Each structure stands twice: as C-alpha cells, then as structure tokens.
Amino acid sequence: MSETHFGFQKVDERDKVRRVRGVFDSVASRYDVMNDLMSLGLHRAWKAYTVAVAAVREGDRVLDIAGGTGDLARAFAGKVGSRGLVVLTDINEAMLRRGRDRLLDEGMVLPTALCDAEALPFAPESFDLVSVAFGLRNMTHKERALAEMHRVLRPGGRLLVLEFSKVAAPLQKVYDWYSFKVLPRIGKVVAGDGESYRYLAESIRVHPDQQALKGLMKDAGFGHVDVHNLSAGVVALHAGIKC
Ligand SMILES: C[S@@+](CC[C@H](N)C(=O)[O-])C[C@H]1O[C@@H](n2cnc3c(N)ncnc32)[C@H](O)[C@@H]1O
C-alpha cells in the first residue's frame, strides 16, 4: 500500500480514506452553516458561477460527484426540467443523507447514489455534464477519479471542477493567517471540531494548483480545458471538454 497526503501528513492510502470519512462524518450536521461562515457566503457566488458556466439545458443528464448537501444538484435540477436527470452522489453517507433530506424538504426527489468517484457505478457516456465541487481535493487517486468522470461523459460532454486553488501572491500571507489561525477556531466553536478545519486548510495547500490540475485533466483525456480563477485564485473552476 503506498502513501499519500492527508493534509500535511503522509499516511497510508487506506488510512486517508478512513480519515476523510471521519472529517465529513464529523462536520456533516454543521456543514452548510460552516460553509457560509468561513467563506463569508462566497461559496454561493462560486457555485452560482459554476452553474452559469455549465449552461445546462432542458433534458440534460447531469452527474454531481461528491455532491454532499446538494447545492449544485439542486441548482441543476431547476434547469434540466422533468425530461432531464440530475444524480446526486457522494462517498459519505452522513453528507449524502443531509443532501437528500434537504432536497426532499424542498420538494425535490433526485436519484442519489452512495459511491466512490474512483469507481463510478454508471455506464460509459451516460451524462452530458459532470460536476465536482470541493471534492476532488479529498480523493486519494485524483487521476483515477478524473478518468472515471471522463468515462461516464458522452463525447462533447463537459466536466466542471470547482476547487480551492493557488491564491494570488499578494494575498498569500493574509490567506495563510486566516486559514491556519482563524478557520480552525471557527470550526471549533461552530462545529465543535477544529481539527477537521485544520485539515481543510492543509489539504488546500497540497492540492494541485491551477496549471497542475489542468494538466491532470488533459492527461485524463479532456481535449480542451479552460481555467477560471475566482476570488484571486482562492478558488478555480476548471471546465474540460471530452473531445
Ligand atoms: C467539501 S465537501 C463538498 C460538498 C459539496 N460538493 C459542496 O460543494 O458543498 C467534499 C465532499 O467530497 C466527498 N468525497 C470525498 N472523497 C470522495 C470520493 N472518493 N468519492 C466521492 N465523494 C468523495 C466527501 O464525502 C464530501 O461530501
């Protein structure tokens, strides 16, 4: 078994899967309120931008991977209409349950699947669009996950990866201070778990930056990849086309 990153630590690959599960089991119940607090609501704008770039049409088939509490799936469901399909998936039961329950409370019944992005239970070329927001960073074999996303897309279909990325140099110091000093404290007070939010900050630092992720997507078979920096690179949206 080889080693991989869990934040700044080097751990056995199986241990990473277990620890990532622990993080999301722990934060699931406070996940949405923490997202609003720690991003000062900005995650809503980043997701709205992703949905705008996706430009899904009525009748499209959309797969949301690592969909958690369902923000993107819910937005896509409003666009594809009754002839379309949006499937909400996640590897973590606690997160997926919250997503499904939240959608049900809003009167939306979407198919959900508990599955690992590295082994998707869908036939090749099943979807017009695949999205993954703030999930790729947590995956052990990103190349494997990207290859799976490519496999389930139809030719001409698009993958949208919304993820934390490399912030512009002038903001680096203040961003580090916020991530390592402030964020874990907010996590401790609001979610009763500072460590999971320390992992969040560390995992962002070891995640491939804009150019490296673009390279991984090209290696996975995406012929064209656009990179959109958001909030000075705090987050980047990578849009890849299967061509
Ligand atoms: C930060 S949350 C993002 C949730 C949602 N997409 C959002 O933007 O609010 C990351 C999600 O990735 C999921 N995840 C981690 N590893 C995964 C994997 N290998 N396959 C599928 N989902 C995974 C976690 O369970 C968690 O729900």
Q: Per-residue pLDDT tens for 124-179?
A: 999 999 999 999 999 999 999 999 999 999 999 999 999 999 999 999 999 999 99
Confirm or reject: Cβ of 67 under 6 Å from ligand 1: yes
For strands 127-133 and 112-114, give the pairing.
Answer: unpaired
User: 88 pairs with which residues across the strands?
Assistant: 64, 112
The protein residue with its alpha carbon nearest to ligand 1, atom 22, reads 66
pLDDT over threshold 80, residue 121: yes
Q: Is the dihedral of CA 240, 127, 51, 103 positive or negative?
A: negative
Q: Average of pLDDT values for 190-196?
A: 90
Confirm or reject: Cβ of 117 under 6 Å from ligand 1: yes
Query: Percentage of residues in the chain with pLDDT exceeding 90?
Result: 94
Q: Average of pLDDT values for 217-237?
A: 98
The protein residue with its alpha carbon nearest to ligand 1, atom 25, reads 92
pTM of the model: 0.97
Q: Residue type for 65, please?
A: I
Q: Is the dihedral of CA 93, 26, 50, 101 positive or negative?
A: positive
pLDDT band (50, 70, 90) for residue 1: low
Question: What is the rounded CA–CA span in Å between residue 62 and residue 84?
Answer: 8
**What is the Å distance from ligand 1's center to 95 Cα?**
8
Please choose from 24, 29, 115, 161 the residue to mutate so as to test ligand 1's pocket, defined by most ligand atoms within 8 A of CB.
Answer: 24
Confirm or reject: Cβ of 90 under 6 Å from ligand 1: yes
- Hunting for tokens 């607090």 — which residue is that? 37
**What is the Å distance from ligand 1's center to 68 Cα?**
6
Q: Per-residue pLDDT tens for 48-79?
A: 999 999 999 999 999 999 999 999 999 999 99
Question: What is the rounded CA–CA span in Å between residue 143 and residue 161?
Answer: 13
Q: Average of pLDDT values for 84-97?
A: 98
Q: Per-residue pLDDT tens for 8-42?
A: 999 999 899 999 999 999 999 999 999 999 999 99
**What is the Å distance from ligand 1's center to 149 Cα?**
14
**What is the Å distance from ligand 1's center to 132 Cα?**
8
Cβ atoms of 207 and 165 within 8 Å: the answer is: yes
Q: Beta-strand (E) ranges in the chain?
A: 3-6, 9-12, 61-65, 85-90, 112-114, 127-133, 153-164, 222-230, 235-242
Question: In the β-sheet with 235-242, what is the strand arrangement from edge to edge?
Answer: 112-114, 85-90, 61-65, 127-133, 153-164, 235-242, 222-230
